[in-house]
Structures are given as structure tokens and as C-alpha cells.
Chains A and B, each alone.
Chain A
Amino acid sequence: MAKEFFEVKNLKVSTDETELLHGVDFSLPSGSTTLLTGANGAGKSTLLKLIMGISPLRTSGKILLNSKDITKLPPERRAKLGIFLSFQEPVAIPGLSVSEMLRSSTEALGKKMSYMDFKLHLCELLEKLGLDPFVAKRDINTSFSGGEKKKLEILQLLMLEPKLVLLDEIDSGLDTKANELISKTLADYQQKTGATFLVVSHNLRILKHLTPSQKLVLEDGLIHKDEA
């Protein structure tokens, strides 16, 4: 049996008035893909944000990565440990180019790369995702279509090379061709790096080339395995 790479134990989340998650338990085996489903508003995005460390909500319970307790770590420390969240709604930062942002991120994550190597790698990745090289100079998530923004999330993923990938509705707003490209790219990435994927998707199109080994359903503040 594959080693449990990532675990969530008795996670409770509440606002001032209500408890949203009542004690969630699940684990992700190393190198696996897990599909997380649930109705709108069930708390799937909240759960991904909690794992990434950017939810302002009150929590209790534990989040473990490679048996290390990361529950109290800030998001940048989690990013350094290899966690990556692909946002459902990527955030625009006017004036900050895609290239500048990626350069700052790779430096912050301690990836040693000369500026020339960085530029070359960026160009390769843009081409791989069917994006114009000029995209590198444009402001991140500003004046891009919904599909392009999703591609930019994948661009960041490929550049930052995370070990645990949280995909929040990566396939919404993608046309068939783009979905095929992204699904294939993600599958290739997983095969190459052995990364672990937690995927939130409604239309399941992203699973074209990704095979989930387990399916989790978030319902009424609890998670259960869907054995079907």
C-alpha cells in the first residue's frame, strides 16, 4: 500500500456563528489522484484554502504533510514544502507581469536558476501550454480570458514544481482543446514527478488523462469515501 503522504485529522472549521466542517478526516497516498466532490457551497474551496493556509476561518484539528504537522504554518512556508493551490478565481495584480511574478516566486522558493535559464524555461512552458511568448510581459491575471487564467495557473505549477497539487475547478471555463491540453499536461507532470493531486471538479473533464484512486464527497460538513 502506498505511503500516506498527506493527512487531515479531525478538522473542524467555523465562522462566528456556524460550524462548517464538523471533523473531517482523510488521507492522500503519495503520487495518487483524489477527486473531491460535493454540492455548491459544501466547503470544497474552503477546504483547499485551509490546506494552503489562507483561510481566515477558525479551525481545530491537524494537517500533516509527510507526518509533519503543518497546521500552523503560513502559506509561504507551505509553498516551500511543495504545496500548490490552483485558484478557482486567480487574482489579478495590475502592473505585475507574469514573468516578474514567476521570477519572484522561484527565487522565494529557493530554486537556483540563472536569469537566462529562467527565461528559456518560461518560454518553453508557454509554448507547451499554447500561450504566446508575449504573455510573459502581460500583467498577471489582468485582461486575460477565463481559460487563459487557468493556463497561467498551470504555468505557475509547472514552473514551481510542487509535490502536492490542489486543483480548484481547473477545468471550468476551458474549451475542449484547452481541457485536453491541460489534462494531458497534468498527467505528464504527475508521471514525471510523482506529485499527489487533490482535484475539485464538477464536470470531471479534467480527469480525461488523470485517474483518481479515490473519490471523496464533502456533504453536511463531513467527508466520506465514495466507494463507487
Chain B
Amino acid sequence: MSYRAADGLNKALIRDISRRKNEPEWMLDFRLKCLEMYHQIDAPSWGPDLSGLDIAHISNYVQPDSKMVSSWEEVPVGIRQSFEDLGIPEAEREGLAGVGAQYDSELVYHNIKQATAKTGVVYLGIEEALNHPKYAEIFKEHFMQLVPPSDHKFAALHGALWSGGSFVYVPKNTSVEFPLQSYYRFNAPGAGQFEHTLIILEEGADLHFIEGCSAPRYNVANLHAGCVEIFVGKSAHIKYSTVESWSKNMYNLNTKRAIVAEGGKIEWVSGSFGSRVSMLYPMGILNGRGAGMEYTGVSLAGSDQDLDTGAKVVISAPDCYALLNSKSIAKNGGKNTFRSLVKVLKNANNSRVFMDCKSLICDSQSRTDTIPVFNIRAKNADVAHEASVGKISEEQINYLRTRGLSEDAAKSLIVQGFTANITKELPVEYAVEMNNYLKLSMEKNL
């Protein structure tokens, strides 16, 4: 039977979630401490308006009528169909090393291909890792160490309510040939989803991890406050790609953070299209000499959307580099904000940072802002920032119209061109999905 917790947030709910998951005592204590912190920490005084989000009227735990299995055949038909519609099982057959699928608060499917598992790569449902005889200690050592619950109000909320998500461990010098993908489907109206992704790459490891999110639209507020923590070992590399197409009743307050050792690299690729409000700033802490971070992000804000996205990088070692490349589009009264923090600490000499953000405004009702913050303490660092805001030109539209395209189709092609250098960073099926989404969104005025 599926189960939906009563709306609101209290100790009884936390205890109930912990009991249902058979958690060790330390995790229950941790959750309860997080709950206290949540009540103590103020909501952000900056950024989008969160007044439509009332935690007292949100169900913070919704258990689907299914256990986690490793065969799609065993997933109940209705739930399986929603993932079939998203093309997840097909993508798994064609070119993924493993797939995790979460429905509301719990995973319903998690599987890794045998060939990948044989190389020592571990891909588990996060609750499995918590109780695993071999990985429970690693889990405890890393869980919410990069994103401590004291970080901000919704990190504390996440700590109290986390449920579902994936645990990945890639051993030394192991390259995962095909991507791993976790997909989060949110189906319950007026509910919250708080999945946790924990990824650990040992020295010289290499992984592409894909995260996808979507939900049907309801008239009540939904909340997504997930958390991603990535530990990138010496000379290891991870590409973390996300395409979020949440429905427009979603408050997407996600926290993503990676710490990168000497010579390692984190690549964030981020497509933000959905949600009513997004506050999402993937962060890299470059902690060893020569570490690197690349952020490539695209966001499209339409009517009733306030997308506050960007990236953060803290460099605490010499010879590091960061490249931040963002493209945003605002239309039909949508609001886009690119917000970034670049912090270069005293000992991070010879580090280089280049940031480029371009915005496109499609009409006079829409708005775009760029809020970069630089805090440079090293004596010798090379930091550059470029930003530009443009409109779709009448000349470009007319040129395409003379070639037979309607005005909307012309705008859509121009926008696709604007985001092309970001689309090519995405896996093919996501690039196609993103272009289709842009096309639909521009032409049907979604």
C-alpha cells in the first residue's frame, strides 16, 4: 500500500520516516538535530519570493506502492509506465551502465550492469548504503559533510527529511564506460521530495552521472530540496549532468557540491527549465593543486517562473582553474537571475577563473539579472568575467521568415542556436529532449 504522511513537519514524522527505513540510531539523532536547526535558521533574505511555500501544508514523505527492485518487470505497471513514457528503461538498454528510478519519496528501481559491477563500481540505493555491511562506514564518513545541515535552512530541512537517492563508489583508476543515471519522478501533489546523492571517486576514477527530474503539474506547491555531495579524488574526473523539467508549481531548492583533490575535475552541466522557483548553485571546492571545475548551464524562464541559478567555486590550492559558462533565456514575463560566487583563497596562486554569462530576453515583460560576486585573496590569480544581455533581433526573425518559417518557429530556432554550445555538452538523448522542450516552449508559449 502506498502511504502519504500527514502534512507538516514535526518530530513524530521524523521518527516515523526513520522507523520505516529501519535506520540506525545515529541517523535518527542526526535527523532530529537537523529539524532543530531548520527551526533555528532563517529563510534566505535574498533571492526569489518563497512565501508561496508553506511547509505546514506539504506532505514531506510519500511512499509509493512498491519496493525497490532491480527488474523493471517487478515495478508496478502504473509506475513503470511513467518511466517508460520518459524513455528510461530504453535508455538503460541502449547506453547506460546503471539506472536508479525514484517515485515520490522512495526508489522503485535500482540496477547496475554486471560488467560495470565487476569492475568494483558500486551503485546502490542510498538507504541500502546506509545499512550495508561494507559501505555503511563510508556512508557515515561522507554523508552531509560537504553540505552540512547548518549550511542553510533547506539543507537542514533536507537533513531532517532526506529519503531516496543514490550512492556511487568508483574505485581507484576505474573508468565507468557508460553513464549512470538516476531519475526522480515526483507524482504526489502538495508534497516534498528530498533525495540524497552521494558519489565518491577514488584516485584516477572517471564517471559521467546523469540526473533527470520531472513532475506533472498541480495547483498546489511542491517542494524539491535534494542534495548532491561528490568527493573527487586525486586526478579523478566526474561529469554531472542534470536536466530539470519540473512542473511550474515546484519550489526547487537543491544543493549540489563537490570537493576536488589535486589534478581532479568536476564538470557540472545543468539545464533548468521547469519549476516556479529555482535556487540552484552547484559548487566546487578545489582543494588540491591543479584541480578544475567547469560549469555549463542553461535556463529558460517563462511566465510565472523565477529561476535563480548559477554556480559557486572556492579555490584553496594553487594552479587551479574554473570555467563558468551560462546561457539564460527569459520570455513571457519570466525572470532569470544568474548568481555566482568566485572565492580565490590566499594560497591559490596562479589560479585562473573565466566566467561568461549571456542572456537573451524575448519580450519587454521578461527580466534578467546577473549578480556575480568575486572574493579574491590570492596575490596572483587571473579572474575574468564577461556578461551580455541581448534581444532576439527583428532582422534575424525576418531572415528566417523569408525562408518559410513562422515567427514563433524562427524565434525557437534562434533560441536553439543561442543554447547550442550548451546542448552539445549534454548526452544525446538529453540534448534532443532539451531542444524539443525549447521548441515546444517557444512555439506553444508554454
Residues in chain A within 8 A of chain B (CB atoms): 52-54, 74-76, 78-80, 84-85, 87, 90-91, 93-96, 100-101, 104-105, 108-109, 139, 156, 160
Partner of A84 from B402, B405, B413, B418 at Cβ < 8 Å: B402
The 4 lowest CB-CB distance pairs between A and B, nearest first, are: A95-B417, A96-B417, A95-B420, A108-B404
Note all chain B residues with C-beta closer than 8 A to A93.
396, 399-400, 413-414, 417
Whether B395 sits at the interface, judged by CB under 8 Å, is yes
Q: Mark B370-413, 1 if CB is under 8 A from A, else 0.
A: 00000000000000000000000101101111111111010001
CA distance A94 to B393 in the complex (A): 12
CA distance A76 to B411 in the complex (A): 13
Rounded to whole Å, the gap between the CB of A196 and the closest CB of chain B is 17
Note all chain A residues with C-beta closer than 8 A to B416.
95-96, 100
Whether B22 sits at the interface, judged by CB under 8 Å, is no
Of all chain A residues, the one with the shortest Cβ separation from B394 is: A56
User: Once the chains bind, are A80 and B404 in contact (CB under 8 Å)?
Assistant: yes
User: Once the chains bind, are A54 and B402 in contact (CB under 8 Å)?
Assistant: yes
CA distance A160 to B399 in the complex (A): 14
Note all chain B residues with C-beta closer than 8 A to A87.
399
User: Once the chains bind, are A95 and B419 in contact (CB under 8 Å)?
Assistant: yes
Note all chain A residues with C-beta closer than 8 A to B407.
74, 76
User: Once the chains bind, are B403 and A156 in contact (CB under 8 Å)?
Assistant: yes
Note all chain A residues with C-beta closer than 8 A to B395.
91
Rounded to whole Å, the gap between the CB of B76 and the closest CB of chain A is 39
Note all chain A residues with C-beta closer than 8 A to B10.
none
Rounded to whole Å, the gap between the CB of B322 and the closest CB of chain A is 24
User: Once the chains bind, are A104 and B413 in contact (CB under 8 Å)?
Assistant: yes
CA distance A76 to B410 in the complex (A): 10
Partner of A79 from B393, B403, B409 at Cβ < 8 Å: B403
Of all chain A residues, the one with the shortest Cβ separation from B390 is: A94
Q: Mark B298-335, 1 if CB is under 8 A from A, else 0.
A: 00000000000000000000000000000000000000
Partner of A52 from B402, B406, B421 at Cβ < 8 Å: B402
Q: List 14 A-B contacts (CB under 8 A).
A: A54-B402, A74-B401, A78-B402, A80-B404, A85-B402, A93-B414, A96-B413, A96-B416, A100-B416, A104-B403, A105-B405, A108-B404, A109-B404, A160-B403
Of all chain A residues, the one with the shortest Cβ separation from B395 is: A91
User: Once the chains bind, are B404 and A105 in contact (CB under 8 Å)?
Assistant: yes
Note all chain A residues with C-beta closer than 8 A to B417.
93-96, 100, 139
User: Once the chains bind, are A104 and B419 in contact (CB under 8 Å)?
Assistant: no
Note all chain B residues with C-beta closer than 8 A to A109.
403-404
Rounded to whole Å, the gap between the CB of A107 and the closest CB of chain B is 8
Partner of A104 from B409, B418, B420, B421 at Cβ < 8 Å: B409
Note all chain B residues with C-beta closer than 8 A to A53.
401-402
Note all chain B residues with C-beta closer than 8 A to A90.
399
Decide yes or no: A79 and B404 within 8 Å by CB, A93-B396, A93-B399 being known contacts. Answer: yes
CA distance A116 to B137 in the complex (A): 55
Rounded to whole Å, the gap between the CB of A157 and the closest CB of chain B is 10
Of all chain B residues, the one with the shortest Cβ separation from A106 is: B404
Of all chain B residues, the one with the shortest Cβ separation from A111 is: B404
Rounded to whole Å, the gap between the CB of B424 and the closest CB of chain A is 10
CA distance A108 to B219 in the complex (A): 37
CA distance A54 to B404 in the complex (A): 12
Note all chain A residues with C-beta closer than 8 A to B400.
93, 101, 104-105
Decide yes or no: A75 and B409 within 8 Å by CB, A95-B420, A139-B417 being known contacts. Answer: no
CA distance A202 to B225 in the complex (A): 65
Note all chain A residues with C-beta closer than 8 A to B399.
87, 90-91, 93
CA distance A84 to B420 in the complex (A): 27
CA distance A105 to B414 in the complex (A): 13
User: Once the chains bind, are B420 and A108 in contact (CB under 8 Å)?
Assistant: no
Rounded to whole Å, the gap between the CB of B7 and the closest CB of chain A is 45
Rounded to whole Å, the gap between the CB of A159 and the closest CB of chain B is 10
- Residue with the greatest number of chain A CB neighbours at <10 A, chosen from B401, B402, B409, B420: B402
User: Once the chains bind, are A76 and B414 in contact (CB under 8 Å)?
Assistant: no
CA distance A101 to B416 in the complex (A): 11
User: Once the chains bind, are A101 and B403 in contact (CB under 8 Å)?
Assistant: yes
User: Once the chains bind, are B403 and A105 in contact (CB under 8 Å)?
Assistant: yes
4 additional A-B residue pairs with CB within 8 Å, beyond A100-B416, A104-B413:
A91-B398, A104-B400, A105-B404, A105-B405
CA distance A91 to B402 in the complex (A): 12
CA distance A80 to B406 in the complex (A): 11
Rounded to whole Å, the gap between the CB of A82 and the closest CB of chain B is 10
User: Once the chains bind, are B402 and A95 in contact (CB under 8 Å)?
Assistant: no
Rounded to whole Å, the gap between the CB of B325 and the closest CB of chain A is 13
Of all chain B residues, the one with the shortest Cβ separation from A94 is: B417
Of all chain A residues, the one with the shortest Cβ separation from B421 is: A95
